[in-house]
Amino acid sequence: MTASTDLTLTTNRRIKVAESDELADGKSKIIHLEGRSLALFRINNEYYAIANHCLHRGGPLGEGEVSGHEVTCPWHGWKFNLVDGSFSMVPTLKVKTFKVSETPEGVFIEE
Ligand code: FES
């Protein structure tokens, strides 16, 4: 009998999603990536990325109005925190967030 071990390989990928000077402060950009839709925001010169699908009915969060670190879904007004993806009324409900880094070469999503 041969011993075996199940290994889970974790691959960290960096995917360029914007040029470093592409987004003005307070602006957002919708990114289509391998069949997914993400929303990238620049707030106070920090970047945040979340899934571009509202938990209510899939509204495009990247088109929502931003106030502080909160985006309001343009369809029916649900609000989500851009730092942790939490829904304002039920913070345990969260949209997916993505780690973002910026270098002189651009802005990258890491997963
Ligand atoms: S789809 Fe976002 S609040 Fe309804």
pLDDT of residue 111: 82
Among protein residues, the one whose CA lies closest to atom 4 of ligand 1: 76
Distance 60 CA to ligand 1 centre (A): 8
pLDDT tens profile 39-93 = 999 999 999 999 999 999 999 999 999 999 999 999 999 999 999 999 999 999 9
Distance 79 CA to ligand 1 centre (A): 9
N-to-C CA span, the chain: 37
CA distance 98 to 73: 18
CATH of 3-110, one of 2.102.10.10, 2.40.50.140, 3.40.50.261, 1.20.1440.230: 2.102.10.10
DSSP state of 94: B
pTM of the complete model: 0.88
Does any ligand 1 atom lie closer than 6 A to the CB of residue 76?
yes
Contacts of 39 (CB under 8 A, 6+ apart): 28, 29, 30, 31, 49, 50, 51, 52, 60, 61, 62, 71
Among protein residues, the one whose CA lies closest to atom 3 of ligand 1: 76
Q: Which atom of ligand 1 is nearest to the CA of 59?
A: 1
Q: Give me the residue spans of the domains in the chain.
A: 3-110
